[in-house]
Amino acid sequence: MLSVLRLFRESAEFVASDVLSRIGRQAVTGSAFSQARYKIDPLFFSDLCDISSEAYEGFASARWKGYRILAGDGSTLNLPASKQVRGHFGVDANSPKKSLARIFLVYDVHTGFTLRAGIGRMSTGEGGMLEDCLDRMPSRPDDLLVLDRNFGFFNTVSRLSAEGRPFCIRLSTGITDFAKGVMADGRTDFITDWVPSRKERETAGTSEAVRVRVTKAVLETGETELLVSSLTDTGSFSNEDLVELYGMRWGVEEGIYGKKKIMQSGSIKYLNNQSVSKVTLQYHFT
């Protein structure tokens, strides 16, 4: 297990000698070492990820106006070429010899720690992966989740609000009826009810409206940035504060880029057993 966690790049012979000497064991052949590594229960890595995230909950971390700022986002990941990987994840439509996976992170932008992560087929939507991460995350009133336009829908806002999870989400200005309506409003910062449409009620499974704050900011490009948030205390959070808050989301973009570089250049290329590689990746996000 140490050999997997160390993201080794050297030969199996070298790693076997190094790792086994650290735990007081005699060296074995590289072949025996590799065969033993495939016997590791992949649930170990999933459990280790959860344990490390639970321990992190008790750590003191940097705050923004009393909140720990978490950003959620997804990306894609090149996977090792193997029959098992292709069988589970499928192949890239543009490159039949290559497999891609969709990944998702919930990331503390101040510390660079990944609290939760997921990996799935390319057909898996980012919204569904966010749902899975939320299912495994405790609801804390001091955790503020920042999301981009891919999550700017009523079902996400409704769930976060119902669970008492503070949020700030950018909306596409012309996709939902709600976004179109607030864009037509001349105000730049106001509180209103997001009343779900018929389709939104079906998707979210509720007809309850959600009280939200709408904030608009004109970017240097001339585009209007439309934010919806749970921060309805205008005395404590100004329009400028919310624009600053959403800007912090860029931390997860940099975090994903850095972690992908490590995984794709390190031990991932050795993990050709699908069941091991899939769950091990979840640990490496942390």
| Helix-then-strand count for the chain, H and E | 12, 8
* pLDDT value of position 278: 43
CA distances from 61 to 82, 96, 243 (A): 40, 44, 22
Assess contact for 188 and 178: CB atoms under 8 A. no
pTM assigned to the model:
0.79
pLDDT in tens, 187-217: 999 999 999 999 999 999 999 999 999 999 9
pLDDT higher at 68 or 103: 68
CA atoms within 13 A on the CB side of 244: 7
Residues 6+ apart with CB under 8 A from 227: 168, 169, 170, 171, 214, 215, 216, 217, 242, 243, 246
Contact yes or no for 10/269 (Cβ under 8 A): no
> Residue 87 carries which side chain, given as an amino acid letter?
G
List b or e across 121-154, with b for residues whose CB sees 16 or more CB atoms inside 10 angstroms. eeebebbebbeebbeebeeeeebbbbbbebbbbb
How does pLDDT run across 94-148, given as a tens digit for each residue? Answer: 777 788 888 888 889 888 888 888 888 888 888 889 998 899 888 999 999 999 9
